[in-house]
């Protein structure tokens, strides 16, 4: 797969629409268009890698730094009881889009998480509202200090 045929590469280059939460030189975070719960976010490397197995360790660290910050912001924004962080590698593992992506999914006490295929695509206006609120919460987590 080359980067023009990859939907996540197109989103990273702003050639396909996305509801963005965060971006820097290496990492982007945007909402899943088929959210399992409201606030379901994907964190991806800007550069095309199919799975985490090909990614340099330094980039893995940068990705998960963003994952943690986004998870905090999503949890606050959605008032979720918990957060799932999941990541599939390869078709056999259930990976549908072959560009590494890490899911951050709000979870609620007693709620069964729907499966992919059970939920409809969200409308862009709603996704943009949700993204704007998560971005507000993210501001507080971008400059955390280690004491």
Give me the active site residues, please: 101
Give residue for tokens 């971006």.
23
Please give the backbone phi and psi of residue 9, each rounded to the nearest 5 degrees, phi first: -65, -40
Measured from the CB atom, the residue of 5 and 139 that comes closer to Zn ion is 5
Per 3-state DSSP, the chain is made up of helix, strand and coil in percentages (nearest 5) of 35, 15, 50
Q: How far is the CB of 118 from Zn ion (least distance, A)?
A: 26
Chain residues in the site for Zn ion (CB under 5 A): 6, 8-9, 48, 99
Q: How far is the CB of 12 from Zn ion (least distance, A)?
A: 7
Phi-psi region of 115 (alpha: psi -120 to 50; beta: other; left: phi over 0): beta
Q: How far is the CB of 8 from Zn ion (least distance, A)?
A: 5
Measured from the CB atom, the residue of 8 and 30 that comes closer to Zn ion is 8
Measured from the CB atom, the residue of 84 and 89 that comes closer to Zn ion is 89
């Amino acid at each position: 797969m080359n980067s023009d045929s990859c939907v996540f590469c197109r989103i990273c280059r702003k050639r396909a629409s996305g509801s963005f939460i965060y971006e820097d030189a290496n990492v982007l975070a945007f909402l899943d268009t088929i959210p399992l719960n409201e606030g379901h976010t994907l964190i991806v490397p800007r550069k095309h890698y199919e799975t985490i197995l090909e990614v340099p360790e330094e980039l893995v660290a940068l990705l998960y730094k963003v994952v943690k910050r986004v998870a905090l912001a999503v949890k606050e924004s959605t008032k979720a009881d918990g957060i799932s962080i999941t990541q599939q590698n390869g078709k056999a593992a259930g990976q549908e889009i072959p560009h590494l992506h890490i899911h951050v999914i709000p979870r609620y006490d007693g709620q069964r998480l729907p499966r992919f295929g059970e939920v409809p695509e969200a409308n862009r206006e709603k996704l943009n509202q949700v993204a704007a609120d998560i971005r507000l919460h993210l501001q507080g987590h971008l400059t955390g200090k280690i004491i």
